[in-house]
Structure 1
Amino acid sequence: MTSTLRGHPGFRLLWVGDTIAQFGTAIASVVLPLLAVGVLHATPGQMGVLVAAETAAFLLIGLPAGAWVDRVRRRPLMIRMDLVRAALLLSIPVAGLLGVLSFTQLVVVALLVGTCTVFFDIAYQSYLPALVGRDHLMEGNAKLQASQSVAVFSGPALGGGLTGLIGAATTLAGTGLGYLASALCLSRITTDEPRPERLPDRNLRAEVAEGLRFVVTNRRLRAIAGCTASWNLFFGVQGAVLVLFMVRVLGLSPAAVGVVLGLTGVGGIVGAAVSARVIRVLGQARAIWLVPAVGALFGPLIPLAGPDWRLGLIVVGEVAIGFTGVVYNVAQISYRQAICPDHLLGRMNASIRFLVWGTLPLGALAGGALGTALGIRQTMWIAVAGWALSCLWVVFSPLRTEREITTEATEANGGHTTSNLAPRARTGGGLSSRRDAGPDHDVLG
């Protein structure tokens, strides 16, 4: 099937702008800690605070952010978030030149950049249906996931390389300029975006509750959220001991660890490239439960790896999980966008992200404790068993008996089907990253 969005000027600009922003996020997440260690000589305790600050916004403001996004036009909001992120990152080299750079500034910048990223990500997921129409959501999400996968795997390496070549502060300055370029791309989109209806007596708590209620009362969305949150919980368990497993059990050098992690990114990139085709063959609803169920079968290859010929097992297992994560994300993100009313898109996306990303730090803490108590390889087995169990949420949901979006699935949106929603959405035109989540190719959401 020939691509239909390559000729869509608005989507092309969104795609380029989002790609630049995703690279900026991936690069900054590595360069900020490198700057803290190399220039400010941060202690391990300080590094923990800095890394936590980078993702704290997802838990602190994830739910109300969705309500705020639904109150405003999404494209101008994304532009503002790009401009604020640019100013924040450019403040670091300026402070360095003036001799006033401090660790406190790094923490504040990390926290505020993370806050802007929360708003930007919720906004672009909520803006896409209005820009391209709901009948092109799978293609649009596949392309955006492809960019995200490339950024997740090459961004940290690029950031580390540039830091060694030109310095951390200069690299952050370049990243800030990249956010300005993203804002410029988004500002050139000419597709009209209607202003959200202003309702009297708005109540933030009630609006947040409405978004959560939409997710938990819809059996299909509840199953998707349960599967994704459970998978990410056990992914956090694995993430806590994965590097230790490769270094202490498999005997890999730090350079070899980097090569293995880079190779596992191939699965996510391939998944993004073929996801739309896979979903068309399987059916959108069927792909949501079948793809992760098949992917989980490859999970045991990871703890079965050894320091001999079995070393290749960890690469195969991680590639398969990466492929699974991206295809699943394209299917379920497109699915939930299609069945959600326009006025609830921001809150629905925020509610899902809050529920499924909130389990990652809990899993990491549990993984550290299990690794200490039971051992590294045993903890890896617990993680892959958890992935298999996570699939039960969707395997035993109404999605298992469906192929595509059904009338019942869209009952919360007035009973419209996907094809009926597409004209209404036109206005003229999930598996998180290894660095951010402790992988966006492996992590669901």
Structure 2
Amino acid sequence: MSVIHRLAGAAYGTHLGDQIALVSVPLVAALAFNASAELIGLLVACQSMAHLLGSIPFGMLVDRRQLRSLAITSSLIALSGFTGAGFGVWTGSVVWFGAGITLAGFGTVLFALSALSILPKAVPPAGLARANAAIETPKALCSFAVPLVVGLIVARVPAPLIYAAAACAALVALAFTASLPAFETSQAPRVSRITRILEGGRYVLAHKLLLAISLCAIFWNLAFAALLVVLVPTIRDIYHFDPGTFGVALSAFGLAAVSGSWLSGRIAGRIAPSFILLFGPGSSAVAAACLTQIGPSSPDTLLYACFFGLGFGPSMWLIAQNSVRQLVTPPALLGRVNAVIQTAIYGIRPLGALIGGAVAGAAGPEAGIGFVALAFAASFAVSLFSGLRQVVSYESLKAPEAA
């Protein structure tokens, strides 16, 4: 079994557990804890807090430690977190529940950073786009299947069992990460931690493509995190749809991600990356604008179409920008650069969740949807007026020999 196949197997386990948590947190909070919009926002923020707190420390580890060991550790962390979340639901403790999903998030962050640094060591530059698609496909498939299943069973199955399933997924990831070979580690001279962090941050800020990718993703993830919080009250109070619509909508998002990831791996060498880097955030802005037009008399299929639009283009964008990152960054800096960008991308999600909950709680879910649409539009604007329009091919991108 090749390294890519083993990494893909680990990705299936990791993202299966992560998607179970992503979908079930707002639903379990509402059903098991009778949570308010503000508390739902806080719990969703807890889940994504790991990206804010863990990305940079983990990025420094990735640049210096054995990647196989870090991948195994990521699975063990996720396993512990999902077990703790299930215990929190079983005992009725919101604190334990929040702590468990936060810990599990650290496992997902460490795996993602490890995988991004493993790929350039396992495949040549010309194969990076296809390899990235192979690693992103598990996430896309899980984001399609998990919301549909969780949406159908969440009210019928004891909530602790949902997190037991997530723990089993982490065990699968552990089995695959344990089968990975050892990889060569960096032999760069030791410098202070602060200096190493600043090196990654300075490189991102000075590189016009990496900076544009970061800003685009910041606004997109701000919007998406807010949407996860405001969607449940919007479905209930504005759209007047069945609560199970939440899971089906996220499943439509996942189906779009599967389709986009599949297509991206096949057209990587046939279409200019600039098109994908603009199409992803642009399609999101259009889909989010359509969310503001849904009303009580609208069919629920319109909501599903909007979420398909939110998932299709961005899944292609994610693969394209991963390839850009890996190609323009010196290998010795890749872990820290990825960590800085991951912090920017996913670290903004707690803020988005809190803002979404605050806006929906203070001004109603309709205002929350309006905020979401504006944030998605800002994401597209950043891409449109940046150097991402000029990326004509992956072959034209090259990192300097030394950081």
Q: TM-score, normalised by structure 2?
A: 0.85
One of 69, 75, 80 as aligned partner of 1:82: 75
Trace 1:3-402 onto structure 2 (pairs within 5 A).
Answer: 9-29=2-22, 50-87=43-80, 89-90=82-83, 105-158=96-149, 167-190=158-181, 192-197=182-187, 199-200=189-190, 202-309=191-298, 311-371=300-360, 376-402=365-391
Take 1:269 and 1:246, find their aligned partners in 2: how far apart are those partners? Answer: 25
Query: Do 2:85 and 2:98's aligned partners in 1 also have CA atoms closer than 8 Å?
Result: no
Q: Which residue of 1 aligns with 2:398?
A: 410
Q: Summarize deviations over 1:316-351 as a string: whole Å, max 9, x none.
A: 222112101101111111111122121111111110
Q: What stretches of structure 2 of length at least 5 have no aligned partner?
A: none
Take 1:357 and 1:85, find their aligned partners in 2: how far apart are those partners? Answer: 17
Q: Which residue of 2 aligns with 1:426?
A: none
Take 2:111 and 2:193, find their aligned partners in 1: how far apart are those partners? Answer: 19
Provide the aligned length of Structure 1 versus Structure 2.
401
Take 1:152 and 1:118, find their aligned partners in 2: how far apart are those partners? Answer: 17
Take 1:273 and 1:173, find their aligned partners in 2: how far apart are those partners? Answer: 30
Query: Do 1:304 and 1:310's aligned partners in 2 also have CA atoms closer than 8 Å?
Result: no
Q: What displacement does 1:72 show? A: 0.6
Query: Do 1:268 and 1:323's aligned partners in 2 also have CA atoms closer than 8 Å?
Result: yes
Going from structure 1 to structure 2, the CA distance change for 1:42 and 1:255 (only over 3 Å counts) comes to closer
Take 1:246 and 1:271, find their aligned partners in 2: how far apart are those partners? Answer: 26
Query: Do 2:17 and 2:165's aligned partners in 1 also have CA atoms closer than 8 Å?
Result: no
Query: Do 1:289 and 1:391's aligned partners in 2 also have CA atoms closer than 8 Å?
Result: yes
Query: Do 2:143 and 2:250's aligned partners in 1 also have CA atoms closer than 8 Å?
Result: no
Take 1:43 and 1:304, find their aligned partners in 2: how far apart are those partners? Answer: 27
Q: Summarize deviations over 1:335-371 as a string: whole Å, max 9, x none.
A: 1112212111111111001112232233333334444
Q: What displacement does 1:133 show? A: 2.6
Going from structure 1 to structure 2, the CA distance change for 1:9 and 1:219 (only over 3 Å counts) comes to same
* Range with greater deviation from structure 2 (180-189 or 121-130): 180-189
Going from structure 1 to structure 2, the CA distance change for 1:368 and 1:84 (only over 3 Å counts) comes to closer
* Range with greater deviation from structure 2 (28-37 or 14-23): 28-37
Q: What displacement does 1:146 show? A: 2.0
* Range with greater deviation from structure 2 (252-261 or 102-111): 102-111
Take 2:394 and 2:66, find their aligned partners in 1: how far apart are those partners? Answer: 27
Going from structure 1 to structure 2, the CA distance change for 1:251 and 1:391 (only over 3 Å counts) comes to same
Query: Do 1:162 and 1:168's aligned partners in 2 also have CA atoms closer than 8 Å?
Result: no
Q: What displacement does 1:221 show? A: 0.6
Going from structure 1 to structure 2, the CA distance change for 1:292 and 1:161 (only over 3 Å counts) comes to closer
User: Which amino acid counterpart does residue 58 of structure 1 have in structure 2?
Assistant: H
Partner-residue secondary structure (3-state), 1:282: coil
Take 1:377 and 1:125, find their aligned partners in 2: how far apart are those partners? Answer: 38
* Range with greater deviation from structure 2 (242-251 or 208-217): 242-251
* Range with greater deviation from structure 2 (290-299 or 324-333): 290-299
Query: Do 1:32 and 1:168's aligned partners in 2 also have CA atoms closer than 8 Å?
Result: no
Q: What displacement does 1:258 show? A: 3.1
Q: What displacement does 1:128 show? A: 1.5
Take 1:23 and 1:295, find their aligned partners in 2: how far apart are those partners? Answer: 24
* Range with greater deviation from structure 2 (306-315 or 129-138): 306-315
Take 1:342 and 1:375, find their aligned partners in 2: how far apart are those partners? Answer: 47
Take 1:32 and 1:317, find their aligned partners in 2: how far apart are those partners? Answer: 22
Q: TM-score, normalised by structure 1?
A: 0.78
Going from structure 1 to structure 2, the CA distance change for 1:91 and 1:402 (only over 3 Å counts) comes to closer
Going from structure 1 to structure 2, the CA distance change for 1:92 and 1:280 (only over 3 Å counts) comes to closer
Going from structure 1 to structure 2, the CA distance change for 1:101 and 1:71 (only over 3 Å counts) comes to farther
Take 2:119 and 2:134, find their aligned partners in 1: how far apart are those partners? Answer: 12
Q: What stretches of structure 1 of length at least 5 have no aligned partner?
A: 1-7, 416-445
Take 1:152 and 1:232, find their aligned partners in 2: how far apart are those partners? Answer: 16
Q: Which residue of 2 aligns with 1:433?
A: none
Going from structure 1 to structure 2, the CA distance change for 1:396 and 1:412 (only over 3 Å counts) comes to farther
Query: Do 1:247 and 1:257's aligned partners in 2 also have CA atoms closer than 8 Å?
Result: no
